[in-house]
Amino acid sequence: FSHFSFYVAIDNGAEGEREFNYDEGSAKGPGHWGELRSEWSMCNSGRMQSPIDLLNERVETVSNLGKLNRDYKPSNASLINRGHDMMVRTVTKEQVKLIREAVHDVSCLHR
């Protein structure tokens, strides 16, 4: 049994302007993560470190958001291997309403 989780990436127009990347030859790549921001300094001394810091004690449960709306419709898309993950980029911008009444433009899904 194989399970894939996809997360919705909300298009904020800042593609290509990330604070870090996974390109070994880049000044923003893994060899430099610990230098980019002081809170990422552990990336210089640890193994298999990433600037994404997901700590259980920092997780906040918001119980009044309601149910996650899942209303999937067929759509044309491209599957892209980015080396560190797989991304599905939609051909046309889709709009989804995930929680409550907020509508989001979806440009890609990634794992």
Give pLDDT tens digits for 52-68. 667 788 788 888 877 77
Q: In the chain, what is the straight-line distance between the N-terminal and C-terminal CA atoms, in Å? A: 17
Kindly name the residue from 3, 32, 84, 110 that is annotated as catalytic: 84
Give pLDDT tens digits for 68-86. 777 667 778 888 887 777 7
Across 14-27, average pLDDT: 76
Q: Is the pTM of this model over 0.85?
A: no
pLDDT at 27: 93
The residue assigned the tokens 């119980």 is 63
Q: Please confirm, yes or no, whether 84 is among the known catalytic residues.
A: yes
Kindly report the CA angle at 39 between 38 and 45, in degrees rounded to 5? 85
Is residue 22 a contact partner of residue 84, using CB atoms and an 8 Å limit? yes
Distance of CA 89 to the CA centre of its chain: 13
pLDDT at 15: 46
Angstrom distance (rounded) from CA 15 to CA 35: 22
